[in-house]
Every structure is written in structure tokens, then in C-alpha cells.
Amino acid sequence: MKLISYDIIIRPIITEKSSRMMEENWYTFEVHSMANKIQIRNAVEEIFKVKVKKVNTINMRPKPKRMGAFKGKTRSWKKAMVSLAAGQRIEFFEGASI
């Protein structure tokens, strides 16, 4: 399946933990579930014009949820944590806060 860069990176993840990780040059994204680490690296480098050092991925499993008598699950999705080379920053995240 051929994915373009803007299909691979779905959205940034901005939480307390990811905000702390940004100080150490790690950025977190929700990515397409079929994307591999090489595609994620190329997409981040192309979109944000930075040099990626390392990519870690996690498949987030659905969690059971309940609304009254109705049972269901949250959706499953893929998370990527991207480490940038020293001196690199993504300006998109600079004003982000919780």
C-alpha cells in the first residue's frame, strides 16, 4: 500500500508525558496503522524538515468502555515516538501546552 507523507502522520499527541519528552527531543504522533518505521521517519523528515535519529512505534489496543447497558471498545491505533538529532526542533510543538 503506497502512502504519502500526509497520510502517514495523522495528528500530534500532546499530553503531560509527551510534553516532558519534548524537552528531551522526543515527539509523539498518531500514525497510520499500516505505516512502518522507515515510512514514519521519511514522513516526519519531509513534513517538518528535520533529521530523525530514532523511531519507536506502539500499537495501542482498544480498551473496553461502557455507557449504561451498552458495552463497546475504543478504537485501536498506532503511536510513534520520534527522536530528533541534536539541535533539531519541531516549531509546530513549541507553543503547545496542556
Per domain, the residue ranges of the chain are 5-86
pLDDT (mean) for 17-40? 95
pTM of the model as a whole: 0.87
Return the closest-CA partner of residue 87 out of 35, 25, 1: 25
| Residue 1 banded pLDDT, cuts 50, 70, 90 | low
**What is the C-alpha to C-alpha distance for residues 56 and 36, in angstroms, rounded to an integer?**
10
**What is the C-alpha to C-alpha distance for residues 43 and 41, in angstroms, rounded to an integer?**
6
C-alpha distance across the termini of the chain, in Å = 35
| 5-86: CATH, from 3.30.420.40, 3.30.70.330, 3.40.50.300, 2.40.160.10 | 3.30.70.330
Residues of the chain with pLDDT > 70, as a percent, come to: 93
Burial track 75-86 (b if 16+ CB lie within 10 A, e otherwise)? eebbebbbebee
What pLDDT score does 71 carry?
Answer: 96
